[in-house]
Amino acid sequence: MPGSTPTHFAYRTPLGRVTIASDGQAVTALAFGEQELPGEARATELTNRAANQLQEYFAGKRRAFDLPLAPAGTDFQKRVWAAVERVPYGETRSYSDVAAAIGSPRSCRAVGAASNRNPLPILIPCHRVVGANGSPAGSGNSAKTKAFLLDMERRTANEG
């Protein structure tokens, strides 16, 4: 439905409140905590579907998401996010690996910036992009969230 009113709805996850936004055709944003997103606050088939897939992911029953995504970003950011979507569940890549994958091997810092601006965390798994030494890069809550997700994926991947 082009031109439909953007919507968002908050759901509970093991990481706390997550708000999922949609433009009626695709998921456009996912925000942690009390962050407000534009649009009308109401659940839709698409936000509910995204929430259900997130619950399956946190329960270890889903390794990939089957949702239409429409993240807003620059062409460079979208190239980074597309490369990140190809990182397999339970695995990681360094910022330099992603930079090389998009044909821009000297853009490690820009890859990091694009990862930090990802409007669809978890759905576009930028938590799988780590520092050269393998440690989750980031600060404060983002580093803790990244470590939580990586640990969860490694445990689940090792189970089968």
Under DSSP, the state recorded for 121 is B
Catalogue the active-site residues.
126
Domain with CATH 1.10.10.10 in the chain: 75-159
Q: In this structure, are strands 129-130 and 27-32 parallel, antiparallel, or unpaired?
A: unpaired
* Mean pLDDT, all residues of the chain: 92
Q: In whole angstroms, what is the distance from residue 64 CA to residue 144 CA?
A: 22
Q: In whole angstroms, what is the distance from residue 106 CA to residue 39 CA?
A: 38
Query: Which of the residue ranges 20-29, 35-44, 104-113, 133-142 would you say has the lowest mean pLDDT?
Result: 133-142
CATH class of 75-159: mainly alpha
What pLDDT was estimated at residue 6?
93
pTM of the model: 0.92
Largest alpha-carbon pair distance within the chain?
Answer: 45
125, containing H or E segment: none
What pLDDT was estimated at residue 134?
83
For 14-65, write each residue's pLDDT tens digit: 999 999 999 999 999 999 998 888 889 999 999 999 999 999 999 999 999 9
